[in-house]
Amino acid sequence: MLPAGHGDALLVEYGQTGAEHRILVDGGPYYSYDEPGGLREKLNALQDTGKTDFELLVITHVDSDHIDGIIRLLQDPELAELVFKDIWFNDWKQLQPKATGVLAGVHGEFLGALLDAHKLPWNSHPKLAGGPVMVPDTGDLPSLDLAAGAIVTLLSPGPAELVNLRKDWKQSVRRAGFQPGDRQSALEELAQRARYGPPKGVLGQQTDDAAANGSSIAFLIEYQGRRLLLTGDAWPSVLERSLDRYAQQYGSPVAVQDFKLAHHGSFSNLSKRLIRALQADRYLLSSSSQYYKHPDAEAIELILQHHNGGTPTLVFNYLSPKTKPWADKELQKERGYKALYPTGATWGLDS
């Protein structure tokens, strides 16, 4: 979990040592992109050592704290060597009734226009074939193969969540003064947004939208029997429904090494049923506690009360006023959990 302010920027590596495969999930808000230790610094370090290929880039949904860093990345000339073999993102064109039987926003239009302008591969996996990244209401959960034997199982969104979002997408784009799918207007509008410009020396914040959260691409990735659950800001009801289906297909409970909590540890995006549906070793919390003061203490209490098996480990990517209390050794012993922070972490203590 890279330091991404109040957002997500997640780098997944799997495979044999020295021949790792990489997946990037989200890019955080615009302001965290070129901060020390952030996404730009990490990607530059990979590029400098020749690690330029990524199996997959996933933009879970269109909230600015997930999508803005990717908009900046795609316009960064210093990272032009990076190659994304496929990009998963549900844009306006994936949300037409003819495509889904069914997104929201200006940020989504910016990203879609950039993907088209750069002619990047987009929802190109054979099982997607350019259509939406979506879980059908019936049948088996979609299972998509990646390189070296990794398997992705989609959990969110479903058709209803995309239908719910389509209206918001249209309204927000029209308020910005252009029409959904108008690539040229989107690029012209993007050019006027100074916060998305290239970092210095190379040549924002809004509240979360519940419909956008509901449209989050959430998935399990499995490699050699180990599973990672990435949830974006998905609704717990959608995840519960899909995990029930997963258990019917593969057995219950669903054992995962790491569970990245939705919506940065918001209590509203967690439930005891969701926790009990999993057999998680570690709970990943991505937030600096800025703006919305996540993670919620109530969410962590829910984990400690309903964790399914063994000693739960809480993994924070910031040391902040909201996360520091869980570092107390006596509290860890008393409540039966472990807490991990970045080595030497001081990020966020002034938040």
What pLDDT was estimated at residue 172? 86
- Judged by DSSP in three states, 309 sits in coil
CA distances from 209 to 66, 169, 193 (A): 12, 11, 21
Q: 345: which 2 tokens?
A: 């972490």
Average pLDDT for consecutive 10-residue bins of the chain (351 residues)? 97 95 97 94 96 98 94 95 97 72 71 96 96 96 97 97 87 89 93 76 41 93 96 94 94 89 94 94 96 93 94 96 95 97 63 39
Give me the amino acid identity at 64: S
How far is the C-alpha of 103 from the C-alpha of 176, rounded, in Å?
A: 15
Q: 138: which 2 tokens?
A: 């019936």
What pLDDT was estimated at residue 15? 95
Domain ranges of the chain: 10-134+165-212
* Exposed / middle / buried, residue 350 (Cβ in 10 Å: 0-12, 13-18, 19+): exposed
How far is the C-alpha of 289 from the C-alpha of 329, rounded, in Å?
A: 21
What pLDDT was estimated at residue 251? 78
What pLDDT was estimated at residue 199? 58
- What is the DSSP code string of 311-347? --EEEES---TTTGGGG-HHHHHHHT-EEE--TT--T
What pLDDT was estimated at residue 97? 61
Name, in order, each residue with C-beta under 8 angstroms of 61's C-beta and a sequence gap of 6 or more: 67, 90, 103, 212, 213, 215, 216, 217, 232, 233
pTM of the model: 0.91
